[in-house]
A = this chain, B = another copy of it.
Amino acid sequence: MAVTLADVAARAGVSAATVSRVLSGNYPVADTTRTRVLRAVDDLEYVVNGPASALAAATSDLIGVLVNDIADPFFGIIAGAVQSEIGDGKLAVVCNTGGSPERELTYLTLLQRQRAAAVVITGGAVDDDAHQAALAARLRRLSDGGTQVVLCGRSPLPGTAPAGATPSGRDTGAEPGGIVTLAFDNTGGAQRLTEHLLTLGHRHIGCVAGPADRTTSRHRLEGHRRALTARGLPTEDERLTVHGGAYDRAAGYDGALELLRRAPELTAVLAANDTVALGVCAALRDQGLRIPEDVSVAGFDDLPASQDAGPPLSTVRLPLHSAGARAGRLAVGREGAPPGGVTTVRAELISRASTAPPPHRPSR
């Protein structure tokens, strides 16, 4: 039905092999024949059959990108950056996992089925050994099958990337097909954020953390506690921390109300991320509290919208675009893997109007 290589060959008066060679370009062909073939291609509006070519060549130009939620700019920015770096001939297959480990595995199977050239997995993982192991197994199989695997914004898989170079000096992470990791410094960022609040004078800091079963949540909380401990302050986890069901605005809203109920004396709230922080702000305002005069609020990620929020959010900037771009380059082999296969990208404190010193006397 559709026009095939053979049709083009017939029209150009050459063999199918020649047409193939002209099209792939990686083989010497006489200039005169080349132009003749190209004209035939044009006349017939021939378009290569991807599946057939992938089958014969045992390669594909599909690159999978796994994200929790493409509607969330956090992931959108990373995905866009990945795509901008993989080149014009490659196609980015974006898969929304919704944060579900099962869907993550399902999509990886689908991508393996497509013989994807690479897979970029973004965002934090579910903090569960069984799932981590299942994931690691599948990723190793993908990697063995020639698919380049890149983790972006997630800690290295256990047992996948050796910690540092091996005794022999080989950095195993750099071998082609190895699993490369670009981790975000969630712990360090959160620590600096809490220090910022402590320096402002806050002593009653609530946390609306992310879902309890996510590594990102755990790491950010860890940074928070570290800052507290470093100053010899108690952490009061159980009372001052609530876990939301998701990283969304509603979780922030509900979490803030719960926090206020438990600890009306608090003067600052640390949110799981910027989106959650906006929900926190909304809840506080609805309770008649001013930000930052009565309560300070801080987010995480520094999404573009955060600078235009009311008030602009203090937060921790993650270099989402550059990390995604680097992940894209790693995926297509345009950049070598870092030594050990793992790099951690720094998170930078951004101080804006949503944080300020606490009120002199508890206003409530």
**Residues of A with Cβ closer than 8 Å to B?**
2, 45, 47-52, 54-55, 60-62, 69-73, 75-77, 79-81, 83-84, 88-89, 91-96, 106-107, 109-115, 141, 145, 249, 278, 281-282, 304-305, 308-312, 321
Contacts and interface: CB of A to CB of B under 8 A. Distances in A.
A114 B77 contact: no
A55 B51 contact: yes
A79 B50 contact: no
Counting every copy of the chain, the complex holds 2
Task: Select the residue from A72, A73, A89, A94 with max chain B CB neighbours within 10 A.
Answer: A94
Query: Which 8 pairs from chain A and chain B are nearest by CB?
Result: A310-B310, A305-B305, A51-B54, A71-B80, A94-B94, A278-B308, A76-B76, A51-B51
B76 A72 contact: yes
B60 A70 contact: no
Contact of A55 (B49, B94, B112, B115): B49
A93 B92 contact: yes
B114 A51 contact: yes
A51 B59 CA distance: 9
Nearest to A303: B305
A91 B83 contact: no
A171 B177 CA distance: 52
B141 A45 contact: yes
A319 to B, nearest CB: 14
11 contacts: A47-B109, A50-B114, A51-B115, A55-B55, A71-B77, A73-B76, A83-B94, A84-B96, A91-B93, A249-B304, A310-B312
Contacts of A52: 51, 55
A95 B96 contact: no
A18 B113 CA distance: 19
A277 B313 CA distance: 18
A91 B80 contact: no
Nearest to A103: B88
B96 A94 contact: no
A113 B49 contact: yes
Contacts of A72: 73, 76
A113 B55 contact: no
